[in-house]
C-alpha cells in the first residue's frame, strides 16, 4: 500500500501541473522592484488602471483607492471592464489585502480583474504590488491585526498568500525585506514554493505566459531560487538553482519535470510551519552579502548556512553556469542549492 502511494506521488511529480503558469492566452505579468524600475516600451504611453494607497502621479493614470473596491460600485467595475492594463502599487501587502478583500473574500472587482487578465490584459505589480500579484509575498508581522501564530519566529517578516495572478511563485522586493533575505529563504522552505523571485528597486521582470519565459530589464538585478528541477531526497532536496538575472537575460518559467535520484524514495513533506533560522555566527555575514559574493570573482566554492532546523548549501562551479535562452550566449551567475532538514522536522 505504501509503495503504491509513493509510486503514485512520484508519477504526479513527473507530470506538468497546469497551475504553475497563467493560462497560455492570459496577459503578461510585469514585476517591478520599485517606481524607478522600467516598464516595457509598449506600456509607456498606455492608460492604465492604477490601484494605489495614495494619489495618482500622472495624468495618464486612473487611480482606484481602497474605498472604491469595498462596495463594488458600478463606476469602479466599469473602469475595470474597459481597461487592458492594471497596476498595483503603493502601500504594503497587508494594506492591499485589506483594501481588496474587505470581507475576507473576493470582491466583484477582483473577479473582473482576473477575467480581464485571462483574456489578455497586462497586470503590473510595483514595489509591494509585485508581491501582491504573485501567489506568496512577505509582510511585516507587526502590521497584522492578530499576533503571529508561530511563537518560534523571531523575525518581524512573515509570508502570506496573495492575489495569485502569478500563481506559482513567491515574489518579494526591498519594500518588504529591507535587504534582509533570511525571511525570503524561510518562506521558500516552509511554503514549499518551487520558484522564488527577489527584485531590487531598479529591476523589472516581465513574465510572458505565451512565450513561457521571463525577461529582466532595468539597472538592478533579479534573484531567482528555482527548485522546479530539484531532486527530492529523504531530508530535503538537491540540485536546485540560484540564478542572478541582469538586463536582457531570459529565464524559462515553464514547468519542469521533477525526478527522483537513483534508489531514492520520496520523503514526506516537512511541516508547513518549518522555518530556516540561520545562525548569524556561522553565516559570518548577511545573506544579502553572501549572495552578492556568489556573482563576484573570485567566487567562494561553497557557502554553507547552518541553523537549528536546516542546513542550506550553495555550491558554485562550472556546471552551474546557466545560459540565457534564444541563442543568447551571455552567461549569468548561478549556484547549485542543496537543503537538508533535521530528521525531527519530517513527518513520521
Per-residue pLDDT tens digits for 251-261: 877 654 333 33
pLDDT range class, residue 5, cuts 50, 70, 90: very low
Per-residue pLDDT tens over the stretch 90-131: 767 676 776 667 666 777 888 888 899 999 999 999 988 888
Residue 255 in grid coordinates: 514547468
* pLDDT at res. 44: 84
SS3 state at 111: helix
Residue at 42 is within a domain: yes
Nearest alpha carbon to residue 295 among 159, 200, 169: 200
* pLDDT at res. 324: 34
Residue at 176 is within a domain: yes
Distance, in Å, from the CA atom of 79 to the CA atom of 48, rounded to the nearest integer, reads 10
**pLDDT above 90 (res 37):** yes
* pLDDT at res. 7: 33
* pLDDT at res. 175: 60
- Contact 117/25 with Cβ under 8 angstroms? no
SS3 state at 130: helix
Q: Which one has a higher pLDDT value, 208 or 13? A: 208
Residue at 165 is within a domain: yes
Residue at 291 is within a domain: no
**pLDDT above 60 (res 328):** no
* pLDDT at res. 107: 77
Distance, in Å, from the CA atom of 120 to the CA atom of 127, rounded to the nearest integer, reads 23
Q: Which CATH number is 42's domain given?
A: 3.40.50.880
What's the total number of domains in the chain? 1
Residue at 150 is within a domain: yes
Q: Which one has a higher pLDDT value, 114 or 73? A: 114
* pLDDT at res. 279: 34
**pLDDT above 90 (res 82):** no
SS3 state at 71: coil
Domain of 157, in residue numbers: 2-269
Residue at 144 is within a domain: yes
Residue 288 in grid coordinates: 544579502
Residue at 233 is within a domain: yes
Q: Which one has a higher pLDDT value, 24 or 106? A: 106
Distances (CA, A) of 194 to 97, 104, 215, 331: 23, 27, 19, 23
Distance, in Å, from the CA atom of 324 to the CA atom of 330, rounded to the nearest integer, reads 7
**pLDDT above 60 (res 295):** no
Residue at 304 is within a domain: no
**pLDDT above 70 (res 320):** no
pLDDT range class, residue 285, cuts 50, 70, 90: very low
Pairing of strands 302-306, 310-315: antiparallel
Amino acid at each position: 500500500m505504501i509503495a503504491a502511494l509513493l509510486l503514485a506521488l512520484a508519477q504526479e511529480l513527473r507530470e506538468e501541473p497546469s497551475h504553475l503558469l497563467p493560462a497560455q492566452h492570459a496577459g503578461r505579468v510585469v514585476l517591478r522592484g520599485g517606481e524607478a524600475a522600467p516598464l516595457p516600451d509598449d506600456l509607456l504611453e498606455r492608460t492604465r488602471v492604477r490601484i494605489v494607497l495614495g494619489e495618482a502621479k500622472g495624468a495618464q493614470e486612473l487611480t482606484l483607492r481602497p474605498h472604491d473596491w469595498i462596495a463594488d460600485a458600478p463606476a469602479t467595475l466599469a473602469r475595470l471592464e474597459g481597461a487592458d492594463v492594471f497596476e498595483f502599487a503603493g502601500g504594503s501587502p497587508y494594506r492591499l489585502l485589506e483594501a481588496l478583500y474587505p470581507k475576507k473574500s473576493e470582491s466583484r472587482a477582483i473577479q473582473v480583474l482576473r477575467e480581464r487578465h485571462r483574456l489578455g490584459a497586462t497586470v503590473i505589480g510595483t514595489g509591494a504590488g509585485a508581491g501582491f500579484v504573485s501567489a506568496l509575498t512577505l509582510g511585516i508581522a507587526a502590521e497584522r491585526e492578530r499576533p503571529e501564530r508561530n511563537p518560534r519566529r523571531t523575525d518581524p517578516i512573515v509570508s502570506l498568500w496573495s492575489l495569485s495572478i502569478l500563481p506559482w511563485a513567491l515574489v518579494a522586493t526591498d519594500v518588504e525585506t529591507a535587504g534582509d533575505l533570511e525571511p525570503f529563504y524561510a518562506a521558500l522552505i516552509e511554503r514549499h514554493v518551487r520558484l522564488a523571485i527577489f527584485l531590487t528597486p531598479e529591476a523589472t521582470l516581465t513574465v510572458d505566459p505565451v512565450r513561457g519565459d521571463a525577461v529582466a530589464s532595468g539597472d538592478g538585478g533579479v534573484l531567482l531560487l528555482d527548485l522546479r528541477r530539484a531532486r527530492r531526497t529523504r531530508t530535503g532536496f538537491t540540485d536546485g538553482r540560484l540564478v542572478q538575472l541582469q538586463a536582457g537575460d531570459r529565464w524559462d518559467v515553464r514547468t519542469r519535470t521533477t525526478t527522483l535520484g537513483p534508489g531514492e524514495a520520496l520523503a514526506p513533506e516537512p511541516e508547513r510551519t518549518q522555518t530556516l533560522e540561520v545562525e548569524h555566527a556561522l553565516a559570518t555575514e548577511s545573506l544579502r552579502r553572501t549572495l552578492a559574493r556568489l556573482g563576484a570573482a573570485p567566487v567562494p566554492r561553497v557557502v554553507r548556512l547552518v541553523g537549528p532546523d536546516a542546513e542550506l548549501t550553495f555550491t558554485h562551479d562550472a556546471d552551474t553556469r546557466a545560459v540565457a535562452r534564444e541563442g543568447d550566449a551571455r552567461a549569468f551567475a548561478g549556484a547549485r542549492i542543496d537543503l537538508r532538514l533535521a530528521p525531527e522536522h519530517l513527518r513520521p
